[in-house]
Structure 1
Amino acid sequence: MRTITVGTRQSALALTQTNQVIERLKEIAENAGIACRFELKKIITRGDRILDVTLSKVGGKGLFVKEIEQALLDGAIDMAVHSMKDMPWERQEGLSIGATPLREDPRDCLVTRGNVSLSELPRGARVGTSSLRRSAQLLAYRPDLNVESIRGNIDSRLRKLEEEGFDAIVLAAAGLHRMGWKDRISEYLSPDICIPTVAQGALGIECRADDAFMLDLLGRFEDADTALAVRAERQFLGRLNGGCQIPIGAYAVVKDDAAGGKQLEMTAVVGTPDGSRLIKEWGRGSDPIQLGDLLADKMIEQGADRIIAELGG
């Protein structure tokens, strides 16, 4: 029986989603007659250590994955469960995403005092978010809001809503769903208002590229539609070389076409942090790489590359 050591960040959300993955993999292994057992290894990443600075100012890519990937390369762990939105575009040599499971709800959501909606927030309301993408789109929709930076894990940000006088905070719905806290959500933000970040709601399960045992097991956990949508979104991000310093998002939906194939529909956004300029595009196609490049190129024609360059992307 093989013992599989699973690396994870130590936040409540990271541990919860990792344990959910492990339970599903146990079922898959049992049904396939694969003998294995799992153990957890908690790893602190640079992004977890730096909590008093906004993500856009910390800079760099892979803030929440580099230490975990190094543990994989060193053989200290056999697989890792990442939030796919944290994964940098450039892949680490020697590692592979063995599975992209079924995606959770990709939308952003609002948690507010008094359980009010975005339109019901008073003028000048204090809204907390760690994301320039969310901030830009909220300010474009409601420029009267006072959007402020708020860092920390999902549970600490919920505490700050109550303790630090915020009227609302914006979080990924997927995290609240996985924690069993749907009842805290005041409103789901439509992508028409706030396009999600690339791969939000999706998990990426990573292993060593030469570990045939893990690749076989994880391959049984792949969700084809999720993988297709995430590939298109990440291609868009990579083509523009965007990062957390840039208000940038993309959201792809997979639909069955009349010929029995798959069609992707994707919306994307690039903007300035104050929301004064948002470039949005929409496209459709069957090839995720071509679709990602198409939307990126459309945005470059409208000046997205200049916005990214000015912001240091």
Structure 2
Amino acid sequence: MTPLRIGARASLMSLAQSAPILANLAPTPMLLRPFFGAGGDREENRAPLEEDGVFSQEIEAALLAGDIDVAVHCLKDAPTHDTPGLTMAAYLRRDDIRDCLVTRDPEARLDTLPIGATVGTASVRRTAALCAYRPDLELVPLRGPVYNRLEALHRHDVDALVVASCSMERLGLRHRIGERINPEILCPPLGAAIIALQTREDDMDTRKRISKLHDQETEIEAEAERLVLRQMGGFCNAPLAGYCTTHDDCNSVTYTVRARAFSPDGGTVIDVRLTGENATQTAMAVCRQLTDHGA
């Protein structure tokens, strides 16, 4: 059998989240190709987060050229619009969508951080939410791999970090999580905690080989969230957040779509939450309400 050529960013995070994929595809023969040139990963001349697709352009080019068969993406970092000729062929079951607080004191909580405490984050979404919830905190721009941010914490450059819970878990750092922050306080990014596998649109053989990894519930939630991003002109670091959740009570399935648009200082927030039987239609209704309210 021809080996399945899998492409992933060369960051430690990307390789850590790719390892379970390789394990779950066994005994299929595979080759993992790491990509070192993703604009969002570079240590120098790093592409700004205001650019859509800064983490995926190199891998998508290789996929289109036929150099790899599957591209592994964090969905929240993937391009908002599908690249012509490519498709998201499988979504792995979603992990914890919440952000978490990491400090040197494992007992510290967001509510108990002292006035003036420094919190490291480069995320527009996190900055706005923290400004609204704890305007007394000092937010310090801090970007880069999780281990680099942890080093900044240990050097006392900052008093705390806010990072994705799923990132800590995938790196084997669950024990460092001090508090998982309620989404009502810090709304997750659209597409949070979802690993997506991208293939060429016409490569039915590869799509069949990875189909056992696909989670239908996650697909529905992911597509609803990507619809909100597309309709509202969002991308990975836009002032836009939200999520879709599935409710199955045995008799019927409904979907709640939440979207939150805000000013970068957290002073203005538009929060819409609707529930319906069709995730796509509910997402569209959310977008209409966001637009009607000025988002």
Q: Structure 1 length normalisation: TM-score?
A: 0.90
Do the aligned partners of 2:256 and 2:279 also contact (CA within 8 Å) in 1?
no
Per the alignment, residue 9 of structure 2 pairs with 9
For structure 2, list consecutive stretches of 5 or more residues without a partner in the other structure: none
Question: 1: CA distance between counterparts of 2:280 and 2:43?
Answer: 34
Deviation string, structure 1 residues 21-45 (Cα, Å, up to 9, x no partner): 111111xxx5xxxxx3111111121
- Are 2:261 and 2:270, in contact at CA under 8 Å, matched by a contact in 1? yes
Q: Which amino acid aligns with 1:290?
A: Q
Contact 2:189/2:236 (8 A) holds in 1: no
- Aligned-residue offset at 1:244: 3.9
Give the superposition deviation at 1:262.
Answer: 2.1
- Do the aligned residues in 2 keep the contact of 1:131 with 1:244 (CA within 8 Å)? no
Alpha-carbon contact 1:51-1:151 (below 8 Å) kept = no
Q: Does 1:158 align with 2:150?
A: yes
Partner of 1:256: 248
For the residue of structure 2 that corresponds to 1:20, the secondary structure is: helix
**Cα deviation digits, residues 18-69 of structure 1 (max 9, x gap):** 111111111xxx5xxxxx311111112111126676x7x5522100011100
Moved more, 120-129 or 42-51: 42-51
Identity, % of aligned pairs? 34
Provide the C-alpha distance between the structure 1 equivalents of 2:231 and 2:96, rounded to a whole number of angstroms. 25
Match of 2:23 in 1: 23
> Structure 1 residue runs of 4+, over 2 Å off?
50-53, 243-246
TM-score by length of 2: 0.95
Indicate yes or no: 2:105 matched with 1:114.
Answer: yes
Alignment counterpart, residue 70 of structure 2, candidates 79, 102, 111: 79
What one-letter code is carried by the residue in structure 1 that aligns with 2:66? G
- Per the TM alignment, residue 150 of structure 1 is displaced from its structure 2 partner at its CA by 0.7
Secondary structure at 2:3's aligned position in 1?
strand
Give the Cα separation in 2 of the matches to 1:134 and 1:175: 15
Residue of 32, 36, 42 corresponding to 1:40 = 32
Equivalent position of 2:207 in the other structure:
215
Q: Which has the higher helix share?
A: 1
Provide the residue aligned with 2:116 in structure 1.
Answer: 124
Q: Given that residues 8 and 35 in structure 2 are in contact (C-alpha distance below 8 angstroms), is that contact kept between their aligned partners in structure 1? A: yes
* Secondary structure, aligned partner of 2:40: helix
- RMSD (Å), alpha carbons: 1.6
More moved, 84-93 vs 158-167: 158-167
Checking the alignment, whether the CA contact within 8 Å between 1:134 and 1:247 is kept in structure 2 is: no
Identify the residue that residue 93 of structure 1 maps to in structure 2: 84
Contact 2:77–2:236 (Cα < 8 Å) also in 1: no
Shift of 1:112: 1.3
The CA distance in 2 between the partners of 1:106 and 1:245, in whole Å, is 16
**TM superposition shift of 1:148:** 1.7
- Between the aligned partners of 2:104 and 2:119, the Cα distance in structure 1 is 11
Q: How far, CA to CA, are the matches of 2:237 and 2:146 in structure 1? A: 21
CA contact (8 A) 1:234 1:292 kept: no
Task: Return 5+ residue gaps in structure 1 as ranges.
Answer: 31-35, 305-313
Aligned residue pair count: 293
Q: Does 1:290 pair with 2:269?
A: no
Work out whether residues 51 and 152 of structure 1, in 8 Å CA contact, stay in contact via their aligned partners in 2.
Answer: no
Q: Among 59, 74, 77, which residue is 1:68 paired with?
A: 59
Match of 1:138 among 125, 130, 134: 130
Distance 1:137 1:51, change over 3 A: farther
